Amino acid sequence: TKSDTEGFPHSIVELLDGFKASKTLFTASKLGVFDVLSDSGLTVEEVANRINASVLGTEKLLDAAVSLGLLHKLKCEDKPVYRNTEQARQFLVSDSPLSLHAYILHCNDMIWPLFTHLESAVREGTNQQERAFGKKSENVFQDVYFKKDEVTLRFMNAMHSIAKVTGRDVATAFDLSHFRTACDVGGCTGAMAYEFTKAHPELSVIVFDLPAVIEMKSHFQSKEQDGRVSFVAGDFFKDDLPKADLYILARILHDWSDEKVHELLSKLSKSCTPGCGLLLSEILLDEERTRPSRALLQALSMTEGRQRSAAEYSNLLKKHGFSPVHTRYTNNLLDAMLFVKDEQT
């Protein structure tokens, strides 16, 4: 038989099923499948019993997860036994150090509902918070994420899990040995800050974030005791920023319009003396704005921000007296750019 199916639209067919695959991962995570399989392999009945679900539904979910490479299915006497794959063990079990569990729940609970209204989002050119959650939102942080402690914690957990997985690559992307104090602007749980202090023994980091976030920081401090990380509450559009000789902006600017970015950068620029560093971490688009698709898909959630290329970020920052020094494509979820404040502006 001819295995080369030239002319067959493989990539389109894969996209047709993409949403089913995502939802399989989300549902298995949400029901705790990877957690109940974290110690040993289990039969369908055992998993169904522990996740409190039907045997029929659990079997279909587990088999789909096997087909996606998330679980192994092993022959065992009379009944098959399901086990976590190595990747599931490392990234999907909720209490593993590099778990993406919280981010997966964020995708399921906050992003998926927005994308079910993509058609309206495109027609109207606006985000779909109101259709998806019944709430109009001018500022997604204040109006959606930080209204209730429980939602704030869920958002923080999601940010924390991505920062844990990406933080080391961002923290080690550049030689930062001449900086002593950093301020992680919008630094959330401090996950990124701890990666910076781990990587740079001379550096201390102040995490600056909204009061609603800083109030919850104790939920994330258990294992990470490091006196070089401290926390300051404030609004980066309204309040003074802590003094530092390196400012970190990780996953901040893509949430804001050029106008808001200018507002924030102008403030940062005033806090900076010549030689001060600014480390930006974002997904960087290529100059044609065609890749990576991760960034362009994220843009469809239609926050007021935009995804930008390295040249676009450089142009925004140059207007505030910051010159690009290095750009690092990490091949991870986040790229990084280092800027330095010019002598005179």
Binding-site ranges for ligand SAM (CB under 6 A): 141, 159, 162-163, 186-188, 192, 209-210, 213, 235-237, 250-252
Shortest reach from residue 167's CB to ligand SAM, in Å: 8
Task: Give yes or no for a contact between 149 and 216, defined as CB atoms under 8 angstroms apart.
Answer: yes
Shortest reach from residue 221's CB to ligand SAM, in Å: 16
Name the percent of the chain in helix, strand, coil, to the closest 5. 45, 15, 40
For residue 337, list its beta bridge partners. 280, 327
Residue 188 or 337 with smaller CB distance to ligand SAM: 188
- Cα 192 to chain centroid distance, Å, stands at 11
Shortest reach from residue 294's CB to ligand SAM, in Å: 14
Q: Of 106, 117, 254, 320, which is the active-site residue?
A: 254
How far is residue 228's CA from residue 193's CA, in Å, rounded to a whole number? 9
Active site includes 320?
no
Residue 26 or 141 with smaller CB distance to ligand SAM: 141
How far is residue 98's CA from residue 162's CA, in Å, rounded to a whole number? 8
Q: What are the phi and psi torsion angles at 204 (to 5°)?
A: -115, 150
Task: Give yes or no for a contact between 302 and 131, defined as CB atoms under 8 angstroms apart.
Answer: no
Task: Give yes or no for a contact between 340 and 277, defined as CB atoms under 8 angstroms apart.
Answer: yes
Residue 34 or 141 with smaller CB distance to ligand SAM: 141
The two tokens of residue 303 are 């926050």
The region, left, alpha or beta by phi > 0 then psi within -120 to 50, assigned to residue 7 is left
Shortest reach from residue 320's CB to ligand SAM, in Å: 18
**Nearest residue (beta carbon) to ligand SAM:** 186
Residue 19 or 237 with smaller CB distance to ligand SAM: 237
Residue 82 or 313 with smaller CB distance to ligand SAM: 313
In our burial notation (b when 16+ CB lie closer than 10 A, e otherwise), range 54-63 reads eeeebbebbb
Task: Give yes or no for a contact between 274 and 341, defined as CB atoms under 8 angstroms apart.
Answer: yes
Shortest reach from residue 215's CB to ligand SAM, in Å: 11
Bridge pairing between strands 181-185 and 246-250: parallel
Active site residues: 254
